[in-house]
Structures are given as structure tokens and as C-alpha cells.
Structure 1
Amino acid sequence: MSTITSVRNVVSQCIKIGCRTGAFTGSEMKVLGEVLKEWAVSRGRDYHLNLSFGKEGEIDGFVIYGKAPMTQFSWDIYWIVMSPESQGKGKGKSLVRTVEKRLLRSGGPVIVRIETSGRPSYGRQRRFYEACGYSVVGCIEDFYSHGDALITYVKRLESTKPNFC
């Protein structure tokens, strides 16, 4: 399989997983598709993608994250998506921890931000972020639409490696 085919396959599988969750609106799925296509074109520039795999080697989840523009050590997690059958098994937390460890390789400190919806249907996602150690630092009422707040979570990571330079 060529690299182009495998990248297209990753994008296609990630979009299918996003649809299967039932968590995202049509416009959110459109944005997810655009972000994945941007990742496919310029991997590592604006977006990074970490994948989770099931027992048969299929993609069963992913995290998309990137450096926050104009910051020294701040990052955004844009998407955390797990297939319905993989949810609640610790795989999402494992993916988030993998991203955090990767970000800490720079020697820290690192600030990670997650923005999400305040809709009641996003309650499970918000509990997940809190279980991963993220704290609510802000809420803007009616940000997305009437009754749908923007909720911002943050986690500060410190490197445990000594920095001798």
C-alpha cells in the first residue's frame, strides 16, 4: 500500500469513527473532515494525529492536537474520538496520556487546552476531560448558539526530567 493510499485510509477511517459516535453535528463532522484533510497534506505542521488500534489492527480512536499559535509551550487538543465499542475502556485516557508524554519531551512546562460545548449531550465528554486531570478555567455562555456555552479546560504539565542545559 502506498503512503498516499494509507493516509487516505486513515482519514477515511477517522471520519467513519466520528460519524459512528453520534456525538457530532453535521457541521462538526464537516470541520473534522477539513482538519483531517489538512493533516494529510501537511502532517506535523499545524495538526498532529495519534491513533488507537483495536485487536484486529483497525483504527478505533484518535486524538488531533496542535501547537497554540503565538505561544511558547501551549498546545490545543482539538478532537478526541473513540469508536462506540472502545469507549469506557481506558483507551481514550491512554491516548491523551500518550499525547501529554509526547509534549513533555520538550522538557516542559506544557499547557494543554481543550475547548468543548456546554450542551447537556456533551456531559460525558466533560467528565472524561475532568477524569484526565483537566480543570475548567472558563465558560462563555451562548458562545456556539443560544444555550450552548464554550467551556475551556486546561492542564499544566511539568517535566520530571532534569534539564541540564
Structure 2
Amino acid sequence: MPDGNINIAPTQPPPSGITMDMAYKCDNPGCNAPLFQTQYLLSSHKNVHSSTRNYYCEVPSCPRSIGGKGFKRKNEMIRHGLVHNSPGYVCPFCEDREHKYPRPDNLQRHVRVHHVDKDQNDAALRAVLAQRTEGVGAGKQRRRRTNAHGSMSS
């Protein structure tokens, strides 16, 4: 139940299935984020308004290392580590083959923007994206969900 520090916005409808007495609103001035279902989600959101950065890259020369910009969230720092640890994903459609993207999603965005005629399921692109790094996240497999019939789906 919301405490006295949380403002409830009576003019904004709560998310589906949530009643007004269960909704949490960010009280940061000017914030127009939708209501949050839990105090935890509100607390996590409030991080966007903070200037505190408690997570830093371990590479001393990196602008995001201690004394530099850093990160607000640990998962952002871990993802950033791929910039230093990834062998790079090279676009199979570019002629120069010199630019390497540190993360697969960076390459996918590049293809979407610069190679609009290419299909995201192109065999050459899939082959490049199938590379695994030895660093963070190596060997991880996607969590599989069980569908309504009890069989596995990805």
C-alpha cells in the first residue's frame, strides 16, 4: 500500500488490473511516467532522475571508468563490457568489412538503418550473429518458456 511519500495521480488511470490504491506515482517534479504497479518498480524508475553513478568500467582508460561517467545500473555496465571484450560483429553487407559492432543488437540496428533491402533473417547476417563471445554472457542460453500445452517454446 502506498505510503505518505508517494503521490497518487487521480487523473491518470492505473495500469490494467491495478486499482488506484495499488498504483505508485513518481513524485519527481515534471515527471510524467505512467503509474507503477509496485513500490519496487517505482524505486527502480526513480534512478533515472538521480545523478548518482555507482558502477564503473574496469578498463582504466575507458571514459566510463572510475573518475569518468560510469553507469547508473549494473546491467548497463555489464553490457558495456562487450565494447572491450567482444571480437566484434562485422556487417556481411558492407564492402569495407572494417567496422566491428561490439554487440549483436548494434549490428542489427545498423542493418535495419543502412541495408533496408536486407532481410533480418538473411543467412549471412544470421551466421555473423551466431558468433559467441568468450566474455560476459558466453555460454548463456535463452530461457525457454513452457506454453499452455506443456511443451517448450523459445
Q: TM-score range by the shorter chain?
A: under 0.3
Question: What TM-score, normalized to structure 1?
Answer: 0.22
Kindly indicate which of the two structures has a greater share of residues assigned to helix. Answer: 1
Question: What TM-score, normalized to structure 2?
Answer: 0.23
- Looking at CA atoms only, which structure, 1 or 2, has the larger radius of gyration? 2
Higher RCO (Cα < 8 Å, 6 or more apart)? 1
